[in-house]
Amino acid sequence: MDIPAKYKISGGDDNVRKNILRDLAIDKGIPEFIAYRNKKAAQYGSGIDKILRKKIFKNQNINKYFNNLKENI
């Protein structure tokens, strides 16, 4: 939070963001194609969403499951 935005975002069309961290990663030896890849939500980057869909929810309608869960909270 203390890092000024000018070090995190390089411009209005910057879709990658966190530039200072990505530059640091490159300085530490992380290949550029990894350091500058697009952001993904953690569950998609880790692959856990695919595991859940294939193993746990394979015989269920996921949307129906979550709608029912939401209604019962």
Same domain assignment for residues 35 and 45: no
Same domain assignment for residues 50 and 34: no
* Number of independent structural domains in the chain: 2
Same domain assignment for residues 33 and 49: no
Same domain assignment for residues 24 and 6: yes
Same domain assignment for residues 13 and 46: no
- List the domain range (segments joined by +) for residue 48: 41-73
Give per-residue pLDDT as tens, 13-57: 666 677 888 889 999 999 999 888 877 776 666 777 777 777 776
Same domain assignment for residues 13 and 32: yes
Question: What does each C-alpha distance from 38 to 6, 15, 24, 46, 50 come to in angstroms?
Answer: 19, 8, 16, 14, 19
Give per-residue pLDDT as tens, 1-12: 787 877 777 766
Same domain assignment for residues 73 and 55: yes
Give one word for 27, left, alpha or beta, with left for phi > 0 and alpha for psi -120 to 50: alpha
pLDDT value at position 30?
93
Q: What angle do CA 39, 54, 47 make, to 5 degrees?
A: 20
